[in-house]
Amino acid sequence: MVDMMEVCKKAIENYGVESQIMMVMEEMSELQKELCKNYRGKENSTCIAEEIADVEIMLEQMKILFDVHEQSKKFLEFKLQRLMKRLEVV
Ligand SMILES: [Mg+2]
């Protein structure tokens, strides 16, 4: 299994901070494009899966770059709990 954090740290070192911040936007727009195509009726679940992976790799780099792993994990837990409560009410 590849060490995701290790690879992501190397990517930031190699390509630089600014480049990787631009890249996360590029990858998010690629995912957005595939989701739009799917909405219009195209069967592209493989493309969607690929773009989700790209975005996840970039999100990991953003967590490293902004040093927010712990904070992000706490927000995730908080927001999942909140969503769960909202869904119980419905
Ligand atoms: Mg991509």
C-alpha span between 32 and 52 (Å, rounded): 10
pLDDT tens, N- to C-terminus, the chain (90 residues): 899 999 999 999 999 999 999 999 999 999 999 999 999 999 999 999 999 999 999 999 999 999 999 999 999 999 999 999 999 976
Distance 32 CA to ligand 1 centre (A): 10
Q: Return the pLDDT at 90.
A: 60
Q: Return the pLDDT at 21.
A: 97
Domain that holds residue 44: 4-89
Q: Which CATH number do you get for residue 36? A: 1.10.287
Distance 89 CA to ligand 1 centre (A): 37
Distance 17 CA to ligand 1 centre (A): 18
Answer for the pair 30, 54: CB distance below 8 angstroms, yes or no: yes
Answer for the pair 54, 31: CB distance below 8 angstroms, yes or no: yes
Distance 27 CA to ligand 1 centre (A): 5
43 in the Ramachandran plot: left (φ > 0), alpha (ψ -120 to 50) or beta? beta
Question: How many domains does the chain fold into?
Answer: 1
Distance 49 CA to ligand 1 centre (A): 10
Answer for the pair 24, 62: CB distance below 8 angstroms, yes or no: yes
